[in-house]
């Protein structure tokens, strides 16, 4: 979130200098103020797009092959939307995969992936894809 603000700030200073030196505004302070207003508008726009990207959904993926890696699962789900993370569950004692995991992705892509990949044959296994239950709902 700091990166868009930094870029907008740099653009505001450059814009203020261009406006001042082209003679459109006679005061450098006025030109900078105009640049600050533009920065605020750009920052507001970039902040609202970040909120849209935060609408994510976590999917439970069951019946995974034990030999599968996170990258392979990510590639499979990425064809339906932006994948934020993949976590394959391992046994604490042995370190071996348990055959299920979780995929976090954008909500639209997650819904598409659920409908297309549930009962999908992947590396000779029939996947089970559901919306993951929150940990809060398990204790109730």
pLDDT tens-digit readout, 33-69? 766 676 677 666 665 544 445 689 999 999 999 999 9
Element (H, E) at 47: helix 28-53
Q: Give mean pLDDT, residues 75-79.
A: 96
Q: Model's pTM, two decimal places?
A: 0.60
Q: Identify the domain boundary among 10, 30, 53.
A: 53
Position of tokens 């909500």?
Answer: 107
In a shared domain, residues 128 and 69: yes
State which residues form the domain around 36: 2-53
In a shared domain, residues 8 and 73: no
pLDDT tens-digit readout, 17-37? 776 677 766 666 666 676 667
* pLDDT classification of 8: cutoffs 50, 70, 90: low
Residue 100 has pLDDT above 60, yes or no: yes
């Amino acid at each position: 979130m700091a990166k868009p603000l930094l870029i907008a700030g740099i653009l505001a200073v450059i814009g203020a200098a261009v406006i001042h030196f082209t003679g459109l505004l006679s005061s450098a302070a006025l030109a900078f103020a105009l640049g600050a207003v533009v920065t605020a508008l750009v920052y507001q726009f970039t902040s609202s797009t970040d909120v849209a990207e935060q609408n994510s959904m976590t999917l439970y993926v069951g019946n995974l092959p034990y030999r599968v890696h996170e990258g392979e699962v990510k590639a499979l789900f990425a064809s339906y939307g932006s994948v934020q993370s993949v976590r394959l569950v391992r046994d604490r004692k042995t370190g071996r995969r348990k055959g299920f995991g979780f995929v976090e992705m954008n909500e639209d892509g997650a819904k598409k992936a659920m409908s297309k990949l549930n009962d999908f044959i992947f590396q000779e296994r029939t996947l089970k894809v559901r919306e993951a239950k929150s940990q809060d709902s398990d204790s109730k």
